[in-house]
């Protein structure tokens, strides 16, 4: 590709990512797709519908990503999730802190983006604080602490931490065959579980689950195929265009909100350019706002009082720090990362669920004291 053609391709990638994120925001607003809400529904009411949405989303994303990788459309090792170091302590601890924080903040980062689109000003505060905390944990004070502590604890897997690669190395066979078998087994098990109860057969469960999973897969294609150059004319090296990690990316929200705030604050700095993550978080807000306007649910909402503000500030800080330590949020690790069958993503997801359960117990304890 000629260097003069690069700007047009970059714009194409950014617009495609923005459009997919708009659909994500609209679907999430319409179906109330929310990881924290799913866990809370199970714990407080025994309602598994939103948990089944989440399971369908994982199943669809896993099948689509690994199908594309098996066909050679994507490089399965091209993301940050499948590197050789399994940062298991970072995943567990960061995930738990993030999960606890999302309970205090009334939802994870993606849910707060959706709620902001619906007019919730509490979510604006949460997102701003989370962005500052995430930025500090990426490159600031807490980044120094992160690198000096939890990131020193890891397991090295020379072939990478993708489960199919680990299985292929341990039991022989090709990575592709293990990829297809593992993806089919995991996705099939999740779909069977979803369909095993009547509440898993509703239209909203499949609209949200299949929709979110397909959008995660579509953004993988945009970043890993449309935006991939085997030889960048500027460097003569392989390159993934307009991504902050310089690797293949899909929907994630915690680091992108930090990059979005940085882009806004440093807009006149020509080195600060729009990236796939930044336009994704913007698209989620736009999509949610359009859906809220269409269904008449848009309304302004603020904090109930000082205590409510304090809880949300604490939750936002926990999500900002924990999400970066865990290398992603409930969407970024729980669906996008898991779709790559990364061992680290499964660990981080377990940490987030455990943290959310702890947060719900803390909230119940607080209410009992009133």
Number of domains in the chain: 1
pTM, entire model? 0.96
User: Helix/strand/coil (H, E, C) string of 182-202?
Assistant: HHHHHHHHHHHHHHCCHHHCC
Report the pLDDT value the prediction gives residue 145, as an integer from 0 to 100: 95
Helices 141-148/121-139 angle, 10° precision:
60
Beta carbons within 8 Å of 232's beta carbon, 6+ residues apart: 238, 239
Residue 370 pLDDT greater than 80, yes or no: no
Name the residue range of residue 188's domain: 3-369
Average pLDDT of the segment spanning 162-168: 94
Rg (alpha carbons) of the chain, rounded to whole number: 20
Say how far apart CA 214 and CA 24 lie, in whole Å: 10
Q: pLDDT tens across 275-295, in order? A: 999 999 999 999 999 999 999
Spatial contact of 102 and 36, defined as CB atoms under 8 Å apart? yes
Residue-level pLDDT at 4:
79
What residue has token string 């995930």? Answer: 95
Which among 137, 135, 116 is positioned nearest to 126, based on CA atoms? 116
The reported pLDDT for the residue numbered 5 is: 86
Confidence of residue 186 (pLDDT cuts 50, 70, 90): very high
- Interatomic CA distance for residues 321 and 101, integer angstroms: 10
Question: Cα–Cα distance between 220 and 257 in angstroms, integer?
Answer: 19
> What pLDDT digit, counting tens, does each position of 52-99 carry?
999 999 999 999 999 999 999 999 999 999 999 999 999 999 999 999
Residue 2 reports pLDDT greater than 80: no
Q: How far apart are CA 303 and CA 168, in angstroms?
A: 52
pLDDT 10s digits, 93-139: 999 999 999 999 999 999 999 999 999 999 999 999 999 999 999 99
The CA distance from 164 to 149, in Å, is 29
Please report, for residues 6, 15, 161, 183, 338, the alpha-carbon distance to residue 226 in angstroms, rounded to integers and kept in the order given.
Answer: 12, 12, 25, 23, 22
Q: What is the mean pLDDT of the chain?
A: 95
Q: Is the pLDDT of residue 235 over 90?
A: no
- What are the pLDDT digits (tens) for 243-271? 999 999 999 999 999 999 999 999 998 88
């Amino acid at each position: 590709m000629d260097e003069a053609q690069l700007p047009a391709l970059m714009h194409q990638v950014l617009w495609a990512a923005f459009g997919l994120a708009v659909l994500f925001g609209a679907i999430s607003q319409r179906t109330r797709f929310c990881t924290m809400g799913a866990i809370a529904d199970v714990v407080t009411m025994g309602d598994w519908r939103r948990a089944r949405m989440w399971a369908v989303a994982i199943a669809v994303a896993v099948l689509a990503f690994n199908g594309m990788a098996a066909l050679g459309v994507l490089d399965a090792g091209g993301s940050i999730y499948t590197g050789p170091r399994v940062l298991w302590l970072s995943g567990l601890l960061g995930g738990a802190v993030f999960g606890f924080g999302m309970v205090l903040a009334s939802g994870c980062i993606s849910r707060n983006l959706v709620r902001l689109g619906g007019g919730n000003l509490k979510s604006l505060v949460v997102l701003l604080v989370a962005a500052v905390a995430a930025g500090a944990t990426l490159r600031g004070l807490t980044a120094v602490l992160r690198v000096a502590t939890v990131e020193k604890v890891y397991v090295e897997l020379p072939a990478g931490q993708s489960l199919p690669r680990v299985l292929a190395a341990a039991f022989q066979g090709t990575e592709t065959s293990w990829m297809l078998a593992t993806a089919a087994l995991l996705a099939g098990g999740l779909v069977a579980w979803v369909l095993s109860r009547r509440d898993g057969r509703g239209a909203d469960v499949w609209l949200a689950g299949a929709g979110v999973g397909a959008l995660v897969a579509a953004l993988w294609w945009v970043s890993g195929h449309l935006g991939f150059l085997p030889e960048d004319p500027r460097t003569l090296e392989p390159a993934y265009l307009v991504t902050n990690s310089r690797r293949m990316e899909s929907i994630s929200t915690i680091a992108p909100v930090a990059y979005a705030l940085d882009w806004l604050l440093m807009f006149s700095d020509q080195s600060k350019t729009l990236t796939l993550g930044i336009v994704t978080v913007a698209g989620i807000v736009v999509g949610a706002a359009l859906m809220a306007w269409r269904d008449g649910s848009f309304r302004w909402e603020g904090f109930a009082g000082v205590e409510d503000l304090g809880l949300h500030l604490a939750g936002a800080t926990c999500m900002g720090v924990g999400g970066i330590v865990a290398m992603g949020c409930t969407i970024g690790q729980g669906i996008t990362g898991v779709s790559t069958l990364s061992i680290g993503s499964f660990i981080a997801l377990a940490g987030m669920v455990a943290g959310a359960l702890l947060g719900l117990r803390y909230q119940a304890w607080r209410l009992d004291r009133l």
